[in-house]
């Protein structure tokens, strides 16, 4: 992942993460449901950030930020419900970093980390059927289509990857 790095989510990421979410709110809302106004207020965001850190501390989830060489936040990538050797992968890359291979590189790195550092054997991911960019990221990283689903009231797809690590 040349020039990019993943960092496990920490309390001191909160300010940069809120700025990232605010900057990309309209961009993200084009493909996923908006998080609502309360999420973007300092108290609402701080509460949510503390809750995520608590889930991470409990080992339920593994949250990461994606940073460039200068430390600017480009995206976030997460493993949710990390139970019984499997987890659900989710990610978002900001508009300024889109179409530059950031998501593909970050997903590849997190697949390695998931197997080596977190001991996971498989990952699942889902997206809307018409989100070709996200589908391409998953397919380039060895995920295979396993089923068609309804996601947020729209046609969706679920992917799986069963070989992780090294």
**What are the tens digits of pLDDT across the range 27-81?**
988 877 778 888 889 899 999 999 999 999 999 999 999 999 999 999 999 999 9
pLDDT confidence of residue 62: 97
Domain boundaries, the chain: 5-161
Task: Tell which residue, 86, 104, 13, 85, has the closest CA to residue 53.
Answer: 13
60 SS3 class: coil
The residue with tokens 């689903």 is 149
pLDDT interval class at 139 (50, 70, 90)? very high
**23 Cβ partners below 8 Å, 6+ apart?**
94, 95
pLDDT interval class at 19 (50, 70, 90)? very high
| pLDDT surpasses 70 at 158 | yes
pLDDT confidence of residue 2: 65
What gap in Å lies between CA 66 and CA 9, rounded to an integer? Answer: 10
Computed over every residue of the chain, the mean pLDDT equals 93
pLDDT confidence of residue 127: 93
Task: Tell which residue, 111, 84, 85, 89, has the closest CA to residue 165.
Answer: 111
| pLDDT surpasses 60 at 1 | no
pLDDT confidence of residue 166: 54
**pLDDT tens-digit map of 78-126:** 999 998 999 999 999 999 999 999 999 999 999 999 999 999 999 999 9
Query: Which tokens is 44 given?
Result: 């609402």
Distances, alpha carbon 76 to alpha carbons 43, 84, 98, 116, 147, in Å: 20, 23, 13, 20, 25
Q: Is the pTM of this model over 0.75?
A: yes
Question: Looking only at Cα atoms, what is the longest distance across the chain?
Answer: 41
pLDDT confidence of residue 33: 75
| pLDDT surpasses 80 at 3 | yes
The residue with tokens 């060489």 is 69
Number of alpha helices (DSSP H) and beta strands (DSSP E) in the chain: 5, 7
CA dihedral (14, 36, 29, 131) positive or negative? positive
Q: Going by CATH, does the domain composed of 5-161 fall within 3.40.630.30?
A: yes
Q: How far is CA 138 from the centre of its chain?
A: 12
């Amino acid at each position: 992942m040349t020039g990019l790095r993943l960092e496990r989510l920490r309390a001191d990421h909160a300010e940069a993460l809120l700025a990232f979410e605010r900057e990309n709110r309209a961009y993200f809302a084009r493909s996923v449901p908006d998080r609502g106004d309360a999420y973007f207020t300092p108290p609402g965001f701080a509460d949510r950030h503390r809750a995520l850190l608590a889930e991470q501390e409990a080992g339920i989830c593994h949250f990461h930020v994606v940073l460039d060489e200068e430390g600017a936040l480009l995206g976030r990538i997460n493993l949710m419900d990390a139970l019984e050797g499997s987890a659900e992968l989710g990610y978002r890359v900001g508009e300024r970093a889109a179409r530059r291979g950031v998501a593909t590189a970050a997903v590849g790195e997190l697949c390695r980390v998931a197997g080596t550092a977190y001991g996971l054997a498989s990952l699942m991911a889902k997206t809307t059927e018409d989100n070709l960019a996200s589908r391409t990221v998953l397919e380039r990283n060895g995920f295979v289509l396993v089923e068609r689903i309804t996601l947020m009231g729209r046609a969706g797809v679920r992917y799986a990857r069963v070989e992780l690590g090294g």
